[in-house]
């Protein structure tokens, strides 16, 4: 690695420590240590351009720790029971650990991407599905999760949700049980849902160009490694959701063109079922031209099959023509949930909710007046 590239990477790690992970003291200390060690910075040259980010190296190191490598560095990682706070010994231990794991780290940098599957988002998906079930009077929903990763959001009806306001709480979803994922979500304002009779997911399918095999220990360990080591709540509910997914066995398919798979699936659905296309934190992976084509193809499926599109993405990826609704929080770090459906030849679209990217809070908007994008 030449001097210029080294300086650039060192700067990126320092920036990551300052801006991206200040809530995780271990990651701040590791990023600062990496920035000072050319040998560690050199690992970044193995990553393809699309994945070359500090969090890829952080995940690669974390994976080795979760794999059970016996080394004093593990003592800093809360995710494996470590309680040691970052100290002056950490940089040397990190270097020693990276040397001992150089072969595996290099393979991770060459072949992996940071990939998560966040069921916290189901705290918004659940009420969104209830809303959809009342729109056309079809209580049987068919959920197609595009970019489903390990398919854990397909289990949305099997998780327990607790919504917390400043002075009260209420629950939705499945009843609480010791091994059942339980998701807490702070409610900003009210969650005004139409009274729905019983709705259910009669059909579900996940599709992803690179699905995670939930029966492959290395693959699911990588999912866990992409979480930050201090966040034991997310780590625990990921493991619970994986266990539940292995029992439920919802269908998950590899597809390079997920919309082609969706169309084939829609053709076979019974008429009384309401199909729902769902994507969360997926559209950022599309190039602009591919995204424009994707939107056109979805609009066509909406007209042809009555498909309702629920999209949970960064606000910049909202449907064109949809005004940005007011937000009680910082918009740049938030997810906008939108609904789109066909109304004759026109497309109706509405902003349904704002949320934290992982579902830690929800600002419900409901079916406010729609804008038409003819």
Q: Which residues bind ligand SAM (CB under 6 A)?
A: 115-118, 121, 146-149, 153, 208-210, 258, 280-282, 285-286
105 is written with which tokens?
């780290």
Between 147 and 275, CB nearer to ligand SAM? 147
Between 98 and 119, CB nearer to ligand SAM? 119
Smallest distance from the beta carbon of 157 to ligand SAM, in angstroms?
16
Smallest distance from the beta carbon of 369 to ligand SAM, in angstroms?
28
Which ranges in the chain belong to alpha helices (H)?
A: 3-15, 25-36, 38-41, 54-66, 90-100, 102-111, 122-135, 217-225, 232-248, 258-268, 288-305
- In 3D space, the residue among 308, 315, 350 whose CA is nearest the CA of residue 335 turns out to be 315
The number of angstroms, rounded, from the C-alpha of 101 to the middle of its chain's C-alpha atoms is 28
With beta carbons less than 8 A apart as the criterion, state whether 230 and 24 touch. yes
Coil, helix or strand for 32?
Answer: helix
Between 222 and 305, CB nearer to ligand SAM? 222
- In 3D space, the residue among 165, 62, 147, 69 whose CA is nearest the CA of residue 108 turns out to be 62
Q: Count other C-beta atoms under 10 Å from residue 217's C-beta.
A: 10
Give the Cα separation of 306 and 54 in Å (integer). 43
Smallest distance from the beta carbon of 313 to ligand SAM, in angstroms?
10
Token look-up 């910075």 returns: 41
Smallest distance from the beta carbon of 263 to ligand SAM, in angstroms?
14
Give the Cα separation of 286 and 69 in Å (integer). 37
**Torsion angle, alpha carbons of 146, 307, 312, 298, to 10:** 70
Smallest distance from the beta carbon of 259 to ligand SAM, in angstroms?
8
- Count the residues in the chain: 374
Between 91 and 127, CB nearer to ligand SAM? 127
Smallest distance from the beta carbon of 301 to ligand SAM, in angstroms?
15
Smallest distance from the beta carbon of 100 to ligand SAM, in angstroms?
31
Between 69 and 255, CB nearer to ligand SAM? 255
Give the Cα separation of 22 and 288 in Å (integer). 32
Smallest distance from the beta carbon of 27 to ligand SAM, in angstroms?
19
Give the Cα separation of 266 and 65 in Å (integer). 43
Between 11 and 293, CB nearer to ligand SAM? 293
Give the Cα separation of 266 and 302 in Å (integer). 10
Between 20 and 82, CB nearer to ligand SAM? 20
Between 10 and 224, CB nearer to ligand SAM? 224
Q: Count other C-beta atoms under 10 Å from residue 260's C-beta.
A: 12
Smallest distance from the beta carbon of 117 to ligand SAM, in angstroms?
4
Residue whose beta carbon is closest to ligand SAM: 147
Parallel, antiparallel, or unpaired: how do β-strands 274-280 and 346-355 relate? unpaired
Between 9 and 265, CB nearer to ligand SAM? 265
């Amino acid at each position: 690695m030449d001097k210029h590239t080294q300086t650039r990477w060192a700067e990126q790690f320092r920036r990551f420590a300052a801006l991206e992970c200040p809530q995780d003291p271990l990651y701040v200390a590791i990023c600062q240590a990496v920035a000072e060690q050319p040998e560690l910075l050199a690992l970044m040259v193995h990553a393809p351009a699309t994945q070359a980010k500090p969090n890829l190296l952080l995940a690669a190191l974390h994976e080795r720790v979760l794999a059970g490598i016996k080394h004093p560095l593990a003592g800093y990682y809360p995710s494996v029971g470590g309680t040691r706070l970052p100290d002056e010994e950490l940089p040397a231990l990190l270097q020693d650990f990276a040397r001992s794991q150089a072969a595996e780290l290099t393979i991770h940098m060459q072949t992996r991407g940071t990939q998560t599957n966040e069921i916290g988002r189901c705290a918004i998906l659940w009420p969104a599905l209830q809303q959809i079930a009342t729109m056309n009077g079809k209580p049987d929903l068919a959920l197609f999760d595009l970019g489903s990763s390990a398919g854990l959001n397909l289990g949305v009806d099997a998780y327990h949700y607790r919504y917390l306001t400043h002075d009260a709480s209420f629950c939705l979803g499945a009843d609480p049980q010791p091994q059942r994922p339980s998701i807490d979500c702070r409610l900003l304002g009210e969650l005004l849902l139409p009274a729905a009779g019983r709705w259910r997911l009669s059909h579900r399918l996940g599709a992803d160009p690179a699905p995670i095999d939930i029966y492959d220990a290395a693959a699911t360990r990588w999912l866990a490694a992409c979480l930050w080591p201090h966040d034991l709540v997310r780590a625990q509910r990921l493991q619970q959701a994986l266990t539940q997914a292995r029992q439920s066995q919802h269908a998950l398919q590899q597809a390079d063109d997920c919309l082609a798979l969706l169309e084939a699936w829609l053709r076979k659905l019974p008429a009384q079922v309401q199909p729902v296309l769902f994507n969360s934190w997926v559209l950022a992976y599309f190039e602009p031209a591919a995204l424009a084509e994707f939107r056109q193809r979805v609009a066509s499926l909406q007209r042809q099959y009555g498909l309702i599109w629920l999209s949970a993405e960064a606000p910049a990826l909202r449907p064109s023509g949809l005004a940005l609704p007011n937000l009680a929080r910082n918009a740049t770090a938030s997810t906008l949930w939108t609904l789109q459906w066909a109304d004759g030849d026109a497309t109706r679209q509405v902003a349904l909710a704002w949320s934290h990217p992982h579902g830690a809070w929800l600002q419900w908007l409901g079916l406010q007046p729609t804008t038409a994008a003819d």
